[in-house]
Amino acid sequence: MKKQLFLFALSLLVSGSSLRAQTPVSNAINDLTLPIYSEDGNNGVAVAYDPAKALYYTSYAGNASYPIEVFDAYGSSRYTGAIGADIRGMWYNPATKRLEGILYDNTGGFFITLDMNGTPLNNNITAFSYGMDAQAVATYDPVKKQVIFVQSNEVHLFKANSRKAKKVKLQPASEGVQLVQSPLWTGVKGYEIGLLEAGETVLYLFDIKSGKQSARIKLSDYYGTEPVYAFNISYCNGHVWLYDKGTRTWYGYQIFN
């Protein structure tokens, strides 16, 4: 009986902690950095995270020779090498235990296998395309296994390898706000989709069911050399990531309590 009561109390504690973790902050502070060691590449396209190995993976858009870099949980470099494709989105898929994403100009997709230490092995190109704009950036919902794009503030949710999309129109609280069409998928109920305000360090979160804005977060302590209007933003491990071209560094902000 005592054991059952203990487990019940523990479940309540975990549940309460989970609920608190799902509350967005109004002002996020930079608490993680990933300094890129390669000199190639200009537009950062993604930061992905493997929770089992606590490894971050960063990548660029623009050229197959641009780097993919691997970092540990403290931001220390573990690997750098050519990505092997001109990509427009990358994520870690916990079901397949590999990196996946899409390519530039609807030329298909890719997946990168990883060795037992999480080091990238080879990049495998796939032919399937979702038919979105040439420069469209994608992200992924690992729970429902959906590939996600945003165009003209409309979310397109595709089941993997299907061209039929569910569409949700986003509704910012303020009219005239210009949003970077690089989607962030948090997976947090009521705050699933995130978009950055173009040229600003303000993040907007939206409810995927209604499309309504559910939170506005200021990303503080960011002094990038260029405002973000395209690419250079990502989300993983509870953090929004902004890439500064001047310092060649990804700056991470924890956006949930």
For the stretch 69-98, pLDDT in tens is 999 999 999 999 999 999 999 999 999 999
Query: pLDDT above 90 covers what percent of the chain?
Result: 86
pLDDT-derived band at 171 (thresholds 50, 70, 90) equals: very high
Q: Domains in the chain, please, with CATH? A: 26-254 (2.120.10.30)
Alpha carbon distance, N-terminus to C-terminus of the chain: 34
Q: Which residues contact 2 (CB under 8 A, 6 or more apart)?
A: none
What angle (nearest 5°) sits at the alpha carbon of residue 173, between those of residues 224 and 29? Answer: 35
Output the pTM of the full model.
Answer: 0.90
Structure tokens belonging to residue 251: 């700056």
